[in-house]
Amino acid sequence: MGRNTALIVGASGVIGAAAAARFAALPGWRTIGVSRRAPDPAPSGYRHIALDLFDAAACAAAANGFEEVTHVVYAALHEKPGLMPGWYEADQMQANLAMMRNLMAPLLARAKGLRHVSVLQGTKAYGVHVHRIKVPAREDAPRDPHDNFYWLQEDYIRAAQAGAAWDFTIWRPQVVFGGAVGVAMNLIPILGAYGALCRELGRPFVCPGANGHVIEAVDADLIAAALAWAAESPAARGQTFNITNGDVFVWENVWPAIAEALELEPAFGDPVQLSRLLPEHAEVWDRIVAKHALRAPPMPALVGESHHYADMLFAWGATGPLPPTLVSTIKLRQAGFGDCIDTEAMFRKWIGRLRSWRVIP
Protein backbone atom coordinates (compact mmCIF):
# COMPACT_ATOMS: atom_id res chain seq x y z
CA MET A 1 0.00 0.00 0.00
CA GLY A 2 1.36 3.40 -0.97
CA ARG A 3 1.66 6.54 1.04
CA ASN A 4 -1.52 8.05 2.46
CA THR A 5 -2.49 11.42 1.03
CA ALA A 6 -5.27 13.41 2.68
CA LEU A 7 -7.14 16.18 0.88
CA ILE A 8 -8.80 18.61 3.31
CA VAL A 9 -11.52 20.58 1.52
CA GLY A 10 -12.36 23.83 3.29
CA ALA A 11 -8.97 24.08 4.98
CA SER A 12 -9.50 27.65 6.18
CA GLY A 13 -12.70 26.77 8.05
CA VAL A 14 -13.11 25.90 11.69
CA ILE A 15 -13.14 22.11 11.13
CA GLY A 16 -10.94 22.11 8.03
CA ALA A 17 -8.11 24.02 9.70
CA ALA A 18 -8.02 21.59 12.63
CA ALA A 19 -8.25 18.59 10.31
CA ALA A 20 -5.42 19.82 8.09
CA ALA A 21 -3.17 20.31 11.10
CA ARG A 22 -4.06 16.86 12.48
CA PHE A 23 -3.45 14.93 9.26
CA ALA A 24 -0.24 16.87 8.56
CA ALA A 25 1.10 15.68 11.92
CA LEU A 26 0.39 11.99 11.22
CA PRO A 27 3.57 10.02 10.45
CA GLY A 28 3.73 8.85 6.86
CA TRP A 29 0.93 11.08 5.63
CA ARG A 30 1.01 13.77 2.95
CA THR A 31 -1.64 16.46 3.35
CA ILE A 32 -3.12 18.94 0.89
CA GLY A 33 -5.50 21.69 1.96
CA VAL A 34 -7.79 23.52 -0.44
CA SER A 35 -9.88 26.62 0.25
CA ARG A 36 -10.65 29.89 -1.44
CA ARG A 37 -8.69 31.95 1.07
CA ALA A 38 -5.45 30.98 2.74
CA PRO A 39 -5.69 29.64 6.30
CA ASP A 40 -4.48 31.95 9.05
CA PRO A 41 -2.17 31.09 10.75
CA ALA A 42 -0.29 29.94 7.66
CA PRO A 43 -0.25 26.17 7.09
CA SER A 44 2.50 24.17 8.72
CA GLY A 45 3.46 20.78 7.38
CA TYR A 46 1.06 20.65 4.47
CA ARG A 47 0.52 22.27 1.09
CA HIS A 48 -2.31 24.73 0.57
CA ILE A 49 -3.98 25.29 -2.79
CA ALA A 50 -6.21 28.32 -3.32
CA LEU A 51 -9.36 27.02 -5.00
CA ASP A 52 -12.86 28.41 -5.51
CA LEU A 53 -15.25 25.46 -5.41
CA PHE A 54 -17.83 27.42 -7.40
CA ASP A 55 -15.39 27.39 -10.35
CA ALA A 56 -15.89 24.00 -12.02
CA ALA A 57 -13.07 24.56 -14.49
CA ALA A 58 -10.63 25.43 -11.73
CA CYS A 59 -11.66 22.33 -9.77
CA ALA A 60 -11.14 20.15 -12.84
CA ALA A 61 -7.69 21.64 -13.38
CA ALA A 62 -6.74 21.20 -9.71
CA ALA A 63 -7.81 17.55 -9.82
CA ASN A 64 -4.83 16.86 -12.07
CA GLY A 65 -2.78 17.13 -8.89
CA PHE A 66 -5.05 14.89 -6.83
CA GLU A 67 -4.18 11.53 -8.43
CA GLU A 68 -2.43 10.31 -5.27
CA VAL A 69 -5.24 11.32 -2.88
CA THR A 70 -6.32 8.39 -0.71
CA HIS A 71 -8.54 10.19 1.81
CA VAL A 72 -10.84 13.21 1.57
CA VAL A 73 -12.28 15.33 4.36
CA TYR A 74 -15.03 17.46 2.85
CA ALA A 75 -15.54 20.35 5.28
CA ALA A 76 -16.32 23.17 2.83
CA LEU A 77 -19.41 25.26 3.45
CA HIS A 78 -21.29 28.10 1.78
CA GLU A 79 -23.52 30.32 3.90
CA LYS A 80 -25.40 33.48 3.00
CA PRO A 81 -25.08 36.87 4.71
CA GLY A 82 -27.14 36.83 7.88
CA LEU A 83 -26.61 33.07 8.16
CA MET A 84 -29.85 31.58 9.47
CA PRO A 85 -32.30 32.78 6.76
CA GLY A 86 -30.21 30.98 4.13
CA TRP A 87 -30.77 27.64 5.85
CA TYR A 88 -34.28 27.55 4.40
CA GLU A 89 -33.49 28.72 0.84
CA ALA A 90 -33.17 26.35 -2.11
CA ASP A 91 -30.38 28.27 -3.85
CA GLN A 92 -28.16 27.99 -0.77
CA MET A 93 -28.73 24.23 -0.75
CA GLN A 94 -28.00 23.89 -4.46
CA ALA A 95 -24.87 26.01 -4.10
CA ASN A 96 -23.45 23.61 -1.50
CA LEU A 97 -24.26 20.64 -3.73
CA ALA A 98 -22.57 22.32 -6.71
CA MET A 99 -19.41 22.96 -4.69
CA MET A 100 -19.15 19.29 -3.72
CA ARG A 101 -19.89 18.07 -7.23
CA ASN A 102 -17.41 20.48 -8.84
CA LEU A 103 -14.61 19.07 -6.71
CA MET A 104 -15.56 15.43 -6.25
CA ALA A 105 -16.49 14.58 -9.84
CA PRO A 106 -13.02 15.29 -11.31
CA LEU A 107 -11.30 13.98 -8.18
CA LEU A 108 -13.10 10.63 -8.41
CA ALA A 109 -12.03 10.37 -12.03
CA ARG A 110 -8.38 10.96 -11.11
CA ALA A 111 -7.80 9.49 -7.63
CA LYS A 112 -7.86 5.78 -8.44
CA GLY A 113 -6.43 4.91 -5.02
CA LEU A 114 -9.13 6.74 -3.04
CA ARG A 115 -10.11 4.79 0.07
CA HIS A 116 -12.22 7.02 2.29
CA VAL A 117 -14.28 10.24 2.30
CA SER A 118 -15.58 12.05 5.39
CA VAL A 119 -18.50 14.46 4.93
CA LEU A 120 -19.60 16.99 7.56
CA GLN A 121 -23.22 17.63 8.42
CA GLY A 122 -24.60 18.82 11.78
CA THR A 123 -27.65 18.80 14.00
CA LYS A 124 -29.74 20.51 11.31
CA ALA A 125 -29.94 16.96 9.96
CA TYR A 126 -32.38 16.32 12.82
CA GLY A 127 -34.38 19.44 11.98
CA VAL A 128 -33.15 21.41 15.00
CA HIS A 129 -33.72 24.66 13.08
CA VAL A 130 -37.32 23.84 12.15
CA HIS A 131 -38.86 21.95 15.07
CA ARG A 132 -38.29 20.41 18.47
CA ILE A 133 -36.14 17.27 18.15
CA LYS A 134 -36.13 14.01 20.05
CA VAL A 135 -33.67 13.91 22.96
CA PRO A 136 -31.21 12.49 22.48
CA ALA A 137 -31.13 12.60 18.69
CA ARG A 138 -29.80 9.33 17.30
CA GLU A 139 -28.16 8.54 13.99
CA ASP A 140 -30.52 5.67 13.17
CA ALA A 141 -33.62 7.91 13.14
CA PRO A 142 -35.41 8.16 9.77
CA ARG A 143 -34.28 11.06 7.61
CA ASP A 144 -36.04 14.19 8.85
CA PRO A 145 -38.43 15.38 6.11
CA HIS A 146 -37.17 18.90 5.51
CA ASP A 147 -35.11 20.42 2.71
CA ASN A 148 -31.42 20.59 3.57
CA PHE A 149 -28.21 20.56 1.57
CA TYR A 150 -27.00 17.77 3.82
CA TRP A 151 -29.38 15.40 2.06
CA LEU A 152 -28.30 16.62 -1.38
CA GLN A 153 -24.64 16.07 -0.60
CA GLU A 154 -25.22 12.75 1.14
CA ASP A 155 -27.25 11.44 -1.78
CA TYR A 156 -24.50 12.53 -4.17
CA ILE A 157 -21.80 10.75 -2.15
CA ARG A 158 -23.86 7.58 -1.76
CA ALA A 159 -24.57 7.45 -5.50
CA ALA A 160 -20.92 8.09 -6.37
CA GLN A 161 -19.75 5.40 -3.95
CA ALA A 162 -22.10 2.67 -5.17
CA GLY A 163 -19.92 -0.16 -6.44
CA ALA A 164 -16.68 1.76 -5.79
CA ALA A 165 -13.71 0.60 -3.75
CA TRP A 166 -13.78 3.60 -1.38
CA ASP A 167 -16.00 4.15 1.64
CA PHE A 168 -17.42 7.19 3.42
CA THR A 169 -18.40 8.43 6.87
CA ILE A 170 -21.01 11.09 7.65
CA TRP A 171 -20.39 13.33 10.68
CA ARG A 172 -22.91 15.30 12.73
CA PRO A 173 -21.03 17.48 15.21
CA GLN A 174 -22.75 19.63 17.80
CA VAL A 175 -21.79 23.32 18.18
CA VAL A 176 -18.18 23.50 16.93
CA PHE A 177 -15.50 25.70 18.53
CA GLY A 178 -12.07 26.27 17.02
CA GLY A 179 -9.51 28.83 15.95
CA ALA A 180 -10.64 29.94 12.47
CA VAL A 181 -11.60 33.59 11.99
CA GLY A 182 -13.90 35.14 9.41
CA VAL A 183 -16.03 32.01 9.13
CA ALA A 184 -19.75 31.36 9.30
CA MET A 185 -20.01 29.59 12.64
CA ASN A 186 -17.24 29.90 15.24
CA LEU A 187 -17.82 31.72 18.52
CA ILE A 188 -14.23 31.86 19.76
CA PRO A 189 -13.26 35.03 17.80
CA ILE A 190 -16.64 36.53 18.72
CA LEU A 191 -16.03 35.98 22.42
CA GLY A 192 -12.50 37.36 22.10
CA ALA A 193 -13.58 40.51 20.25
CA TYR A 194 -16.50 41.07 22.63
CA GLY A 195 -14.20 40.77 25.63
CA ALA A 196 -11.70 43.21 24.11
CA LEU A 197 -14.45 45.73 23.41
CA CYS A 198 -15.77 45.44 26.96
CA ARG A 199 -12.30 46.13 28.35
CA GLU A 200 -11.67 49.05 26.01
CA LEU A 201 -15.08 50.62 26.63
CA GLY A 202 -14.98 50.04 30.39
CA ARG A 203 -18.17 48.02 30.39
CA PRO A 204 -18.80 44.76 32.28
CA PHE A 205 -18.20 41.47 30.47
CA VAL A 206 -21.84 40.44 30.61
CA CYS A 207 -22.86 36.96 29.50
CA PRO A 208 -24.92 37.70 26.36
CA GLY A 209 -27.55 35.11 27.22
CA ALA A 210 -27.90 33.51 30.66
CA ASN A 211 -31.07 31.48 30.25
CA GLY A 212 -30.27 28.00 31.54
CA HIS A 213 -30.42 26.47 28.05
CA VAL A 214 -28.46 23.20 28.03
CA ILE A 215 -26.02 22.93 25.10
CA GLU A 216 -23.41 20.47 23.85
CA ALA A 217 -20.16 21.63 22.28
CA VAL A 218 -17.47 19.93 20.25
CA ASP A 219 -13.84 20.95 19.96
CA ALA A 220 -12.54 21.23 16.38
CA ASP A 221 -9.41 19.34 17.45
CA LEU A 222 -11.58 16.51 18.77
CA ILE A 223 -13.39 16.32 15.43
CA ALA A 224 -10.01 16.24 13.68
CA ALA A 225 -8.94 13.31 15.84
CA ALA A 226 -12.16 11.48 14.97
CA LEU A 227 -11.63 12.16 11.26
CA ALA A 228 -8.15 10.67 11.48
CA TRP A 229 -9.54 7.62 13.29
CA ALA A 230 -12.28 7.13 10.69
CA ALA A 231 -9.81 7.40 7.82
CA GLU A 232 -8.44 3.95 8.64
CA SER A 233 -11.06 2.30 10.87
CA PRO A 234 -13.26 -0.40 9.32
CA ALA A 235 -15.87 0.42 11.99
CA ALA A 236 -16.42 3.85 10.40
CA ARG A 237 -17.18 2.62 6.89
CA GLY A 238 -20.61 3.65 5.66
CA GLN A 239 -21.56 5.02 9.06
CA THR A 240 -23.10 8.23 10.39
CA PHE A 241 -21.82 9.53 13.74
CA ASN A 242 -22.83 12.28 16.13
CA ILE A 243 -19.87 13.81 17.95
CA THR A 244 -19.64 16.05 21.03
CA ASN A 245 -17.09 16.86 23.74
CA GLY A 246 -18.81 14.40 26.04
CA ASP A 247 -20.35 16.83 28.53
CA VAL A 248 -23.07 19.50 28.51
CA PHE A 249 -23.09 23.13 29.63
CA VAL A 250 -25.16 26.24 30.17
CA TRP A 251 -23.64 29.62 29.35
CA GLU A 252 -23.90 31.08 32.86
CA ASN A 253 -21.87 28.18 34.29
CA VAL A 254 -18.99 28.35 31.78
CA TRP A 255 -18.92 32.16 31.62
CA PRO A 256 -16.46 32.49 34.53
CA ALA A 257 -13.99 30.19 32.72
CA ILE A 258 -14.35 32.21 29.51
CA ALA A 259 -13.84 35.46 31.44
CA GLU A 260 -10.79 34.06 33.23
CA ALA A 261 -9.20 33.07 29.90
CA LEU A 262 -9.69 36.65 28.70
CA GLU A 263 -8.48 38.09 32.04
CA LEU A 264 -11.83 39.71 32.69
CA GLU A 265 -14.40 39.54 35.47
CA PRO A 266 -17.59 37.65 34.59
CA ALA A 267 -20.80 39.60 34.81
CA PHE A 268 -24.49 38.93 34.29
CA GLY A 269 -27.27 41.26 33.26
CA ASP A 270 -29.51 42.06 30.33
CA PRO A 271 -29.05 40.02 27.12
CA VAL A 272 -26.59 41.36 24.55
CA GLN A 273 -27.18 41.27 20.79
CA LEU A 274 -23.67 40.58 19.52
CA SER A 275 -24.64 40.82 15.84
CA ARG A 276 -25.41 44.49 16.51
CA LEU A 277 -22.82 45.38 19.15
CA LEU A 278 -19.72 44.16 17.31
CA PRO A 279 -20.33 45.96 13.98
CA GLU A 280 -21.33 49.13 15.82
CA HIS A 281 -17.91 49.20 17.48
CA ALA A 282 -15.78 48.35 14.43
CA GLU A 283 -13.76 51.55 14.86
CA VAL A 284 -13.09 50.71 18.50
CA TRP A 285 -11.85 47.30 17.35
CA ASP A 286 -9.48 49.00 14.89
CA ARG A 287 -8.14 51.05 17.81
CA ILE A 288 -7.63 47.88 19.88
CA VAL A 289 -5.77 46.20 17.01
CA ALA A 290 -3.43 49.17 16.68
CA LYS A 291 -2.92 49.55 20.45
CA HIS A 292 -1.92 45.92 20.93
CA ALA A 293 -0.19 45.42 17.55
CA LEU A 294 -2.53 42.57 16.71
CA ARG A 295 -2.54 40.57 13.48
CA ALA A 296 -6.34 40.64 13.45
CA PRO A 297 -8.34 41.89 10.46
CA PRO A 298 -11.04 44.56 10.65
CA MET A 299 -14.25 43.56 12.39
CA PRO A 300 -16.22 42.34 9.31
CA ALA A 301 -13.40 40.02 8.26
CA LEU A 302 -12.89 38.82 11.83
CA VAL A 303 -16.47 37.80 12.54
CA GLY A 304 -17.67 36.49 9.16
CA GLU A 305 -21.25 35.45 9.90
CA SER A 306 -20.41 34.10 13.36
CA HIS A 307 -21.90 37.07 15.22
CA HIS A 308 -25.31 36.01 13.87
CA TYR A 309 -24.57 32.47 15.03
CA ALA A 310 -23.75 33.88 18.47
CA ASP A 311 -27.18 35.48 18.71
CA MET A 312 -28.76 32.11 17.98
CA LEU A 313 -26.66 30.23 20.52
CA PHE A 314 -27.17 32.85 23.23
CA ALA A 315 -30.90 32.81 22.36
CA TRP A 316 -31.14 36.52 21.64
CA GLY A 317 -34.80 37.52 21.46
CA ALA A 318 -36.11 34.28 22.95
CA THR A 319 -39.27 34.83 24.98
CA GLY A 320 -39.32 31.55 26.84
CA PRO A 321 -37.33 28.41 27.64
CA LEU A 322 -35.66 26.78 24.67
CA PRO A 323 -36.13 23.06 24.00
CA PRO A 324 -33.05 20.89 24.57
CA THR A 325 -31.07 19.88 21.48
CA LEU A 326 -28.92 17.03 22.74
CA VAL A 327 -27.54 14.13 20.72
CA SER A 328 -26.38 10.64 21.59
CA THR A 329 -22.73 9.74 21.01
CA ILE A 330 -23.05 6.11 22.08
CA LYS A 331 -22.71 4.83 18.52
CA LEU A 332 -19.34 6.54 18.00
CA ARG A 333 -17.98 5.28 21.30
CA GLN A 334 -19.13 1.75 20.63
CA ALA A 335 -17.43 1.91 17.22
CA GLY A 336 -14.11 2.59 18.92
CA PHE A 337 -13.61 6.37 19.19
CA GLY A 338 -13.99 7.55 22.78
CA ASP A 339 -11.91 10.72 23.02
CA CYS A 340 -13.40 13.63 24.96
CA ILE A 341 -12.53 17.05 26.37
CA ASP A 342 -13.92 19.19 29.17
CA THR A 343 -15.78 22.10 27.58
CA GLU A 344 -14.32 24.68 29.96
CA ALA A 345 -10.83 23.44 29.06
CA MET A 346 -11.78 23.78 25.39
CA PHE A 347 -12.74 27.44 25.82
CA ARG A 348 -9.50 28.16 27.64
CA LYS A 349 -7.45 26.40 24.99
CA TRP A 350 -8.89 28.21 21.97
CA ILE A 351 -8.94 31.63 23.61
CA GLY A 352 -5.33 31.06 24.60
CA ARG A 353 -4.41 30.14 21.05
CA LEU A 354 -6.06 33.22 19.57
CA ARG A 355 -4.15 35.33 22.07
CA SER A 356 -0.87 33.60 21.25
CA TRP A 357 -1.56 34.17 17.52
CA ARG A 358 -2.17 37.87 18.34
CA VAL A 359 -5.67 37.77 16.95
CA ILE A 360 -7.15 39.03 20.23
CA PRO A 361 -5.37 40.93 23.01
Dihedral angle at the C-alpha atoms of 218, 221, 227, 229, nearest 10 degrees?
-110
* Alpha carbons 294 and 296: distance in angstroms, whole number: 5
- Which residues lie closer than 8 Å to 168 by C-beta, 6 or more apart? 116, 117, 118, 119, 157, 158, 161, 237, 238
Residues 274 and 320 in one domain: yes
Indicate which CATH number applies to the domain containing 84. Answer: 3.40.50.720
Beta strands in the chain (DSSP E): 4-9, 29-35, 47-50, 71-74, 116-120, 167-173, 175-177, 205-206, 217-219, 239-243, 266-267
Residues 165 and 265 in one domain: no
Residues 258 and 286 in one domain: yes
Residues 269 and 142 in one domain: no
Residue 32 vs residue 318, higher pLDDT: 32
The answer to whether the bond into 136 is cis (omega within 30° of 0) is yes
Per-residue confidence band for 2, with pLDDT thresholds at 50, 70 and 90: low
- Coil/strand/helix, residue 318: coil
In a domain, 333, yes or no: no
**pLDDT for the residue 339:** 98
Range(s) of the domain holding residue 29: 4-130+137-176+218-243
C-alpha 10: how far from chain center: 10
| Total domains in the fold of the chain | 2
* CB contact at 8 A, 165 and 156: no
Name the nearest CA neighbour of 136 among 126, 145, 148, 144. Answer: 126
Lowest mean pLDDT among 30-44, 167-181, 281-295: 30-44
- Per residue in 173-214, pLDDT (tens digit) is 999 999 999 999 999 999 999 999 999 999 999 999 988 889
- Per residue in 203-220, pLDDT (tens digit) is 999 999 988 889 999 999
DSSP codes of every residue in 139-193: TTSPPPSS--HHHHHHHHHHHHHTT-S-EEEEEEESEEE-S--S-SS-HHHHHHH
Per-residue confidence band for 319, with pLDDT thresholds at 50, 70 and 90: confident
Residues 160 and 73 in one domain: yes
In a domain, 157, yes or no: yes
* CB contact at 8 A, 294 and 358: yes
**pLDDT for the residue 1:** 47
In this structure, the number of other CB atoms found within 10 A of the CB of residue 210 comes to: 19
Residues 208 and 292 in one domain: yes
Residues 27 and 119 in one domain: yes
